[in-house]
Amino acid sequence: MENLKKILTRIDGKGYKAYKDLQGKTFQFPDFELDFYYVQGDPFAGPSQVAVKIEQKRARFPEATNKPRIRNIALNDYLTRVLHKEIPGLCKGRRGTGKSGMVAVDNPGQEILERSSVRVSPDTVEARLFIGLPARGRRVLGMQAEEMLLEEIPKLVQKSLLFKSLDRTPLVNHIQAAEDQDFMRKSLEEKGLIAFIANGAILPRRSGIDQRPLEKKDAVVFQSPPSLEVELDSPHSGKVKGMGIPRGITLIVGGGYHGKSTLLRALERSVYNHIPGDGRDKVVTNPEALKIRAEDGRRVEKVNIKPFINNLPYGQDTSSFCSEEASGSTSQAANILEGLEAGARVLLMDEDTSATNFMIRDMRMQKLVAKDKEPITPFIDKVRQLYNDLGVSTILVIGGSGDYFDIADTVIMMDEYKAREVSKEAQLIAGEYKTHRLKEGGENFGRVLQRKPQPQSLNPRKGKKVKIKSRADEAIQFGTENINLHNVEQIVHPSQTRAIGDLIFYALREKIIDGKKPLKEILEIIEKELEEKGLEIASPFSNQPQGNYARPRALEIAAALNRLRTLRVKV
C-alpha cells in the first residue's frame, strides 16, 4: 500500500501515461492484493483493468458454496451482482476528465451465466474491476487516485467479497435456484420431455427491452393443463409440478396477443438458468434447443439446403449452396441445416419471424404452381422426418395454418395467457376438414453436411493489429468484417458476444481451426477447453485475464462463425 501511495504521489500532475508505471504490478493490502492487469493510456480510452485477490482463509467461503461446479458458477455470478450493487454507494464515481473515477464490474442480467468477472477457487477469491484512473485534462490526479484505490476499493472488498459480510439467505437462494434448474434440465431427457414450465411461473416481461418479470398483479400466473402436468424432482424445492412438453412436434396456437410468443420466448431463454424471482426460475428447456428464423440478406457458405430447396432455375446446385444475400426462405433453410450441423436437438420457431413460403404450400397453390416449378419443399413436409430420422423435435408457434394439425403430436392453445391442451380437438378437425394437399418431402430428411472451416478465410486483423470488438449483443467486429448477430436471439448478454469473438480467435491461434477438422469437432474442442480451463482461454493476452466474458453456447459460436462473410469451408 505504501509503495502504491508513493507512486501516486510521485506521478501527481504528470502526463497521463505516467500511470503506466502501475501496469503489471501487484500491491499488498492488509486483506487482499491489488493487481494492475492493464492500465489505460488516455482518460478517454477504455478503462484500466485491475483484480483484487483475497485468500480463502480471509474470504472464508464454505466449500458447500463452491462445489460442485454449478454452485461455483452461481456463486461467481452472485458476487458479481453484489459488487455491481455496492459500487454506487461506496465509490464516488466520475471525477475529472473522460472515464476518470469510474469503478465498474460486468453487469449481469436475468440469467445466471458462467462469468469471468469473479473467480472463486479453493484458495482465492478474485474479482476483476474496470476503473478509470483520474485525470484533469491529460494530467494525473494522484490524490483522487489515492482515494479510489486506497479507500474506496478496500471498502468494496470488505462489503462484497467476504463471506461474513454477505446476507446468507439471498446467496443460498441464488445457488439453490441454479442447482435446481440445472438438475431439472438434466432430467428432461429421461422423462421424454424437451421443456418444462412450472406452475406459478410468470412468463411475460416488462417490455421488449426490460427482461425483468411483469409485476405479479399484472400477469397471468402459468398453470399447466391437467393432461400435460408432470412432476420433476429438484434438490432444494422438492417435487415441482408443471407442464411438460414431450419430444416430437408441438404446436403453440391461439389468437393474437394471447401469449403464444411469450411462451416461446420463455422457452428459448430457459436453455439458461434464471435468478430467483425472475418468474422463469423453474422453467427449463433442452440445452441444445435452437431458435430458428428467416434472415433476409445473410451470407450462406456451402450449406446443403437440398432437404428444403432443390431444382433451382438454371440447374444451380443446392447440395453445397452459397449466397451472398440469401432470401427469407433460403436463409431459414440454411439456419436449420447449420444448427443441425452444430448439434441442435430441438428447433424453436415462430411463424411471425418465418418466411411464409418456407412454412406452407397449400393445396390451391400446389394446383396452380406444379412441384417441378417450385424449388421449395415447405417445412410442414420435412418436420416429421426431422424427428423420425434425426431425433430432432420442434416447437412451433402458429396461428395461421391449420394444415400443421396433420403432423402435430401435441397442440397447446394459449387462451388469454392460459394454456390448454387441444391435441384431440386438432386431430378431429384435421380428420373432418381434409387439406387435400400433396406431401412433397420425399421419404427421408436428407444429409447434414459436416463442413471444414478454412483458417485463411478468418482474418482478425485490421491493418497490422488484431481487431476484435463486440457491439452489445448485436455484432462483432472481426478484423475488417462485421458479424451481424441481431437475429441470433439466444445471445442474452453482451459479454457472451465479447467471448464469442475472442473464442473464434482462440480457435484460430491454437490451430483448432486447421482446415481439416469439421465444425462440430471444433466446437467440441472449444467446449472441452472451456470446461477444463475456464473463460480465461478467450483472452488474447495471456497476462491479462478479462473480466467481462460470459460463456456462450457452442450453437451461438457456430452462428457467429457462419455469419462471418469471409468464411470459406471445404465439404
Which tens digit of pLDDT belongs to each residue from 491-537? Answer: 999 999 999 999 999 999 999 999 999 999 999 999 999 999 999 99
| Average pLDDT of span 201-205 | 97
Cα distance between residue 452 and residue 399, in whole Å = 39
Answer yes or no: is 174 within a domain.
Answer: no
Look at residue 235 and tell me if it is in a domain: yes
Whether residue 543 has pLDDT greater than 90: no
Which pLDDT value is given to residue 311? 82
pLDDT over 70 percentage in the chain: 100
Same domain, 207 and 283: yes
Q: What does the pLDDT average to over 335-353? A: 98
Residue 490 covered by a domain: yes
CA 320/CA 322 separation, integer angstroms: 7
Same domain, 205 and 349: yes
Q: What is the mean pLDDT of residues 46-61?
A: 97
Please check whether residue 177 lies inside any domain of the structure: no
As a residue count, the chain comes to 571
What total number of domains does the chain contain?
3
Residue 176 lies in a domain: no
pLDDT in tens, 102-147: 999 999 999 999 999 999 999 999 999 999 999 999 999 999 999 9
So what's the pLDDT on residue 315? Answer: 72
Q: Are residues 156 and 17 in the same domain?
A: yes
Same domain, 211 and 268: yes
Provide the 10 A C-beta neighbour count for residue 532.
8
Question: 494 with 367, same domain?
Answer: no
Give whole-number Cα distances, 159 to 43, 154, 164, in Å: 28, 9, 9
Q: In the structure, what pLDDT confidence band is assigned to residue 373 with cuts at 50, 70 and 90?
A: confident
pLDDT tens-digit map of 280-333: 999 999 999 999 999 999 999 999 999 999 988 777 889 999 999 999 999 999
Mean pLDDT across the stretch 61-73? 95
pLDDT at 400 over 90: no
Shared-domain flag, residues 24 and 142? yes
Residues 403 and 459 in one domain: no
Model confidence pLDDT, tens digit, residues 172-181: 999 999 999 9
> 443 and 464 share a domain?
no
E strand residue ranges, 464-568: 465-466, 468-471, 475-478, 481-484
Last residue in a domain, options 398, 418, 449: 449
Q: What is the pLDDT of residue 542?
A: 73
Alpha helices in 30-121 (DSSP H): 56-59, 69-90
Arithmetic mean of pLDDT, 16-44: 96
Instruction: Pick the more confident residue, 383 or 216.
Output: 383
Domain presence at residue 179: no
Q: What is the mean pLDDT of residues 354-366?
A: 94
pLDDT exceeds 80 at position 71: yes
Q: What is the 3-state secondary structure (H, E, C) of 195-228?
A: EEEECCCCCCEEECCEEEECCHHHCCCCCCCHHH
pLDDT of residue 473: 81
Q: What is the CATH number of the domain that holds 430?
A: 3.40.50
What is the DSSP-derived secondary structure letter of residue 142?
A: H
Please give the residue range of the domain that contains residue 385: 186-449
pLDDT tens-digit map of 156-167 = 999 999 999 999
Instruction: Give the Å distances, CA to CA, from 218 to 176, 256, 265, 274, 418.
Output: 27, 19, 19, 21, 14
pLDDT in tens, 248-282: 999 999 999 999 999 999 999 999 999 999 999 99
Q: Cell numbers at residue 559, please?
A: 452462428
Using an 8 Å Cβ cutoff, are 183 and 282 in contact?
no
Question: What is the pLDDT at residue 200?
Answer: 97
d(CA 40, CA 36): 10
Pair (487, 403) in one structural domain: no
User: Do 257 and 193 belong together in one domain?
Assistant: yes
Same domain, 460 and 409: no
User: Please, are residues 213 and 277 in contact by the beta-carbon 8 Å criterion?
Assistant: yes
What average pLDDT does this structure show over 46-60? 97
Mean pLDDT of the chain: 96
The answer on 562 and 470 residing in a single domain is: yes
Is residue 181 domain-resident? no
Measured between alpha carbons, how far is 339 from 347 in angstroms, rounded to an integer?
9
**Domain termination residue (choose one: 386, 419, 449):** 449
Buried b (16+ CB within 10 A) or exposed e, 493-524: bbbbbbbbbbbbbbbbeeebbeeebbbbebbe
Q: Averaged over 429-455, what is the pLDDT?
A: 94
pLDDT score recorded for residue 427: 96
Residue 388: inside a domain, yes or no? yes
The stretch 217-237 carries a mean pLDDT of 97
Boundary (domain end) residue, out of 449, 474, 492:
449
